[in-house]
Structure formats: structure tokens, C-alpha cells
A and B are shown apart, each in its own frame.
Chain A
Amino acid sequence: MRVWSLLKFYTVLVYAFMFAPILVVLALAFNASQFGGFPIEGLSLRWFYKLAENEAIIRAMRTSLALGALTALIATTLGVLASLALVRYQFPGKAFITTFLISPVLVPETVLAVGLLIFLRWLHMPRSFALLVIGHSIIALPFIVLVVQARLVGIRKDYEEAARSLGASPFQTFREVTLPLLLPAVFAGALFAFTISFDNITATIFWRPSGLETVPTQIFGMLRNSVSPEINALGFVMICITVGLPLLAGAVARYFSRKKI
């Protein structure tokens, strides 16, 4: 009995240690004080107003959203196509290609970042926004392949064969049967890709052209001067986006699945 309560206590401590920093940021975002820190002297939204007026942050936010959206679009498209090939078809070198597609998760991000940079130098291409999109897509691709493959394995081939026998061409079969059944995984994968891109800082620092800031690099830059309470407000916004979006998506998915089954 005593061992169990000790274990419970320890578990609570672990979680507290993990979540405390996030809670601190969330709480301090509403602190009226000029110097971000405890004790909280009064509640205010002034840092959010300041955030909204900060041109650099608005620009960084816009860049991050566009980057995340493009990464989600490209990585999801490629990921779905790759998963279809890997699950539905037999071809030589399949095991190798699977490992290859998953490898960006295994390789340290710094190595990946430097590698891509050297490769582009060799091609005589400058660092650009497009490079960021390509790089983020590479990082996000494995997650999409894993999520979509898992779902695709569960969709029996019968459905596609039935559609084909009824007169649907391979493309029509994909559009009418496979894709709708795959949609929850496609959606989840796209969200993964978006949040992975939105959060990324390590590789982004290597790849971004000078003058271009994403939200994480912007925060990083601001921290070098001082800890402005604005950063807490920005942290609050980021947490809302990266945590809130998947929760919202889950709710939407549940709503639609309840309607049908």
C-alpha cells in the first residue's frame, strides 16, 4: 500500500514538473506587471494588445501559418501517395523505401538540416522560403506515412475491388472509396504536419533566409535581448494553436463519425 501511494506521489511530481513551465507561461501572459514574474500584480490583456501591434511578430506569425499550411499540403499529398504504394502494391525494394521514408525521424535534426543545406549549396541554390517548405515537408513526411499506412492496412481491399467491379476506374475508386475511408488519417496527418512545422526551430534556424522569421525564431531572437512579457502572450497564442487545433479536429471528426455510424 505504502509503495503505491509513494508511486502516486512521485507520478504527480513528474507531471507537475512537466506542465509547470507551460502553466507559468499561460498565467504570466495575463500579468499586468512590466517585469514578467511572480507574484502576479494584476490581470490585464495589455501584452496581447502589444503583440497585435508588433509588426515583426505579425509578420512572423503570417510566415509560420503559411509555412505550416504548405508543409501540411505537400507532406500529406506525398505521404498518402507513398502509403498507397507501400500498402497496396508489391514492388522490389519496398522494405528499403519504407525505411528511407521513415528515416528523417531517426536522423538528428541538426544533421538533416546541415545535410540539406550542403546539398543546396552544391546545387548553387540560395536559402529561401521554398527551401523551408521542402525541409519541413521532409521532417513531417514520416509521421504522415505512419498514420496513413496504419489506417490503410485496416481498410479491406474488398471495398476497392467492389468499386472496381461496379465500373469505377482506379482513380474513381480512389476518389469515391479509398480517400473518404482514409480521410480521418489524412486529416490527422495534415494536422501533425502543420504542428510539426509550426513548432520547428532547430532546422528552421539553419534553413531560413536572412530577414525571414517564423514565430519560434522570432521568440528566440526576442529572448536574446530580454524576457519581455510579450513573449508570454505569444507563448499563450502558440499553445492555443498547437494544442487547440488537434482538439478541435478531434471534435469535428467525432461529430461526423457519430452522424454516420
Chain B
Amino acid sequence: MARVELVNIRKSFGALKAVHGADAVFEEGSFTTLLGPSGCGKTTILRMISGLESPTSGDIFIGERRINDVPVHKRNLGLVFQNYALFPHRTIGENIAFGLKYRNISPSDMAQKVKDALDIVRLPKVQDRYPSQLSGGQQQRIALARAIVIEPDVLLLDEPLSALDANLREDMRVELKAIQDRIGVTSIFVTHDQSEALAMSDKIIVMSAGRIEQIGTPEEVYNTPATAFVAGFLGASNMLPARVLGRDASHILLETPEFGQTAVALARAAALGTNRGATLSTGDKALLMIRAEKLTLGPAGGDAPQAVVENVDYQGQLARYFLRIGETRLQAINMIDAAPFLAGQTVSLTLNPNACSALPEDTSA
């Protein structure tokens, strides 16, 4: 087990800049997710930690050791791939024992370790089968067993659940996290799936276009996104152009044409770590971010802003509403009380200022 640190890592493939100066710390024993859309550089960072790519500049530390120039096979890392990558010409037992062969372990210890690893992933009886005789989920568990049996300093997981079908993916997610908790290995997980990231991580690193957008706990990145990108990528949210009317020690006052004045708590405006919301001052253009599930529909009338329901996406206990106020389109996700509102209906909207955040105007898009 060890902590991993990236110091100003850059990576270019020819003219293409895949990673622009990333700094990050992966605490010992923690489970950190690199989250972002495809092509954001998350896999490139994982491959640089593993040694399968080398950074154009910057330093990578595992524990106290700078490992930029250490070849892959001397880094003592466990690597799990999206497509399992079990050796098809070897039995399950041989696959798991593969890494042990290079580690001066006696044959009897080796057999015991293979058996223990199979017990950890709850597949005790498959030792003599070949990978093609197992299902996708079983193969991925064997791939995990093969990676952890060598007692790696760091476990690197490259979209390990993406090739599995939906139901299995959720079961495996719970199991993977349970195994990681039990063996306590520092884990770095790459995914584009926000629900995986939110459910499993101690810390999430959100990336976009080769840059780190935000680093924080799942609650932090979800509730107090640092940038419009993070707000848009995690969950469904509405981003309304706003103007900063003023601020005091604890709140920032935003005005939008749709909702008038809204006071947003500074604690929420200032996303931890990057603190970009805190730089807003009176007169600036900004964005008011409202989570779709924090925008509540009610019967028409009253002082609240009135909106027209354009479309309803019925999901059983929930409904997702597509709304319009004037020319502005909004999304809301509400629990259904008795019956959902219908398309064409006029409704009143209430928003909870405590669940809103203020973001600087999006300059990246």
C-alpha cells in the first residue's frame, strides 16, 4: 500500500495534448475515481501511473519513490482492464498465479495465495477452467483476483465494469468496493459513469479535455460543483445566466430573469479546493445552478414563477419534467405525489436557495 502523487503531469501525443498539467494526491488506502467523458485524459493518467505510458513532463510518486523511470514490471501495481485481459491459453489458476511466479514464492505458498484470492472474489471452484468457460462477471472477478494476489502497492482499475450488463454492473460495483475496503489497497478507478463514481469513491477527480476540473468527495462535487462542466456532468441540472447583485460575509445575491433575486450561501458558491465561485464580485456575470431534483413543481398561481410543462418522462415513482419559462428551458425531477403533471399544464416553480450554487460564467464552452 502506498500513496500516489502526481506533480504537474503533462502528456502530449504528437500535437495532441492529452493531459495539461495535472496535480493530484491519492491517499494511502483510499478509493479515488477519475471521472470524465471519453477523451478527457483520465485513462492516459491511469496509464502513466501504471507505466504503460510515460509523461511528457512532470513527476509521479508512489510512496516516497519517484517512479517516472521505473519500468512497468518493477512498479508492483495491480491492473484491471475493461476487457478482463485474462490469458486465454492459461487456466484460471495459472492466470492468478502468473504474477506470483516473478516474486520468489514457494509453490505451496503460491497455491495457498491463489486459493485465498479465489475465496476473496467468491469463485472458489474454477481453478482448472479456462477463461472462455466463465461469464463476463466471473472473468472480471478473476482479473481482480489476479491483480490483488500480488499484493500491489496500488490497484488501478480501467473501466472494469463497463463491459458488464446493467444489473451485474451494480452487483459488481458493491462487491468491488467491499473487497477494496477489506484489503485496504490504494485504488484508482477510471470511469465515465457518474453513478459508479458517486457510489464507490472516497474522492472524485472530475476531468474534462485534459484538465482537472475539480477534486473532492462525492458530496462536494455533486453539491458544490466548481465549474459549469462539473455541474452539467454530474446529475441533471439547470444553469441560468445571472448577474451578481452583491455579496456579504455568508451569501452572494444573484439575479435571474426567471427567478428574480436568489441568495446563495457562499459555502456552496465556493467549491472546496478551487474556490472559483468565491472570486465573483458585484456586477459580474455568473451562472445560477439549480439541480433538477431541487426545482419543485406546484399547482399554477401565486407569486412563484409560472412555467409550462412541455414534456413528461414518467419513471414510476419519479417524473422528469421538461419546462419552459418564456424562452428558457428547464428540467425538474420530482417525486410523484398522486398523479404527475401533464404536458401543456401551467405550473408554479419553487426553488430552494440552499440547494443552489453560484458558478462563474462558463468560459470553457
Contact = CB atoms under 8 A, between A and B. Distances in A.
B83 A165 contact: no
Interface string B147-186: 1001000001000000000000000000000000000000
Nearest to A155: B88
A166 interface: yes
Contacts of A167: 73-74, 76, 99, 101-103, 150
Interface string A153-182: 000101101111111111011001100110
B81 interface: yes
A138 B103 CA distance: 42
Contact of B102 (A159, A166, A181): A166
Contacts of A260: 88-89, 130
Nearest to B81: A158
A261 interface: yes
A159 B84 CA distance: 9
A153 to B, nearest CB: 16
A158 B83 contact: yes
Interface string A49-75: 000000000000000000000000000
B73 A159 contact: no
Given A165-B79, A261-B130, A177 B73 contact: no
B78 A159 contact: no
Contacts of B83: 156, 158
B89 A163 contact: no
Interface in B64-97: 71-79, 81, 83, 85-89
A165 B81 CA distance: 11
Contact of B88 (A163, A168, A261): A261
A181 B73 contact: no
Given A165-B72, A165-B73, A261-B130, A159 B87 contact: yes
B9 to A, nearest CB: 19
A156 B82 CA distance: 12
Contact of A169 (B73, B78, B87): B73
B98 interface: yes
A161 B156 CA distance: 13
Contact of B85 (A161, A169, A173, A180): A161
A156 B50 CA distance: 18
A168 B73 contact: yes
A19 B83 CA distance: 47
Contacts of A162: 79, 81, 85-87, 143, 146
Given A159-B87, A164-B72, A165-B51, 12 more contacts: A156-B85, A159-B85, A162-B85, A164-B52, A165-B50, A165-B75, A165-B147, A167-B73, A169-B73, A177-B87, A261-B130, A261-B132
6 contacts: A159-B87, A162-B79, A165-B72, A166-B147, A168-B73, A176-B98
Interface of A: 156, 158-159, 161-170, 172-173, 176-177, 180-181, 260-261
